[in-house]
Amino acid sequence: MPESVGVRQAQAQRTRGAVMEAAAAVFVDQGVQAPVRDIAERAGVGVGTVYRNFPTRADLVTAVYRHQIDACAALAPRLLEESASPFTALTRWADAFVDFLVTKHGLGAALGSGDPGLENLHTLMLDTLVPACATLLDACAATGELRPGATAYTLMRAIGNLCITGPDYDRADARRMVALLLTGCRGTA
């Protein structure tokens, strides 16, 4: 008896998800220029399966980062609901944003590579994450937990600059510096 279309589609979605999850992990370890065979091996599939799902490296990089950007954006309203205060939600979201940024080895170079498949990734990040951050900042401002004048774009750029890691500056250092930045933005409430 042949497999139903629904079963095949579900398996295809699981395979695609496994490839994206493996790619995300390999990108953290090796950067976005990691060999596709390493991604395939980690996903437990053949190289052809990776290319069948993502015909170009840019397609794979974009899909992985789009998924991660969407997850980071979706975190903002959830944290506002779960947290004791809007500033706590902002702090927790900033920690997640730091984690997102410091694991993007080679993404900056890839974005500047001229690859037309990657040219919209930076815009996607801004269009998705700036409004999420703005929601948190607005909630903080409404409760007096944030000094006036902070904008989402400026705060995210500052966080991004603090997340440029190197041999003597790692994720923990970036988190500490971002915590200091947020403390400086805190209002008097």
pLDDT tens digits, 29-49: 888 889 999 999 999 999 999
Instruction: Specify the pTM.
Output: 0.83
* d(C-alpha 104, C-alpha 115), whole Å: 17
How far from 137 is each of 17, 28, 34, 37, 127, CA to CA, in Å?
33, 29, 37, 42, 16
pLDDT digits (tens, 9 = 90+) for 5-16: 788 888 889 999
Phi and psi torsions of 166, nearest 5°: -160, -170
The confidence band for 166, taking pLDDT boundaries of 50, 70 and 90, is confident
pLDDT digits (tens, 9 = 90+) for 100-155: 888 776 666 666 666 676 778 888 889 999 999 999 999 999 999 998 888 999 99
Residue 70 host element (H or E)? helix 57-82
* d(C-alpha 121, C-alpha 138), whole Å: 26
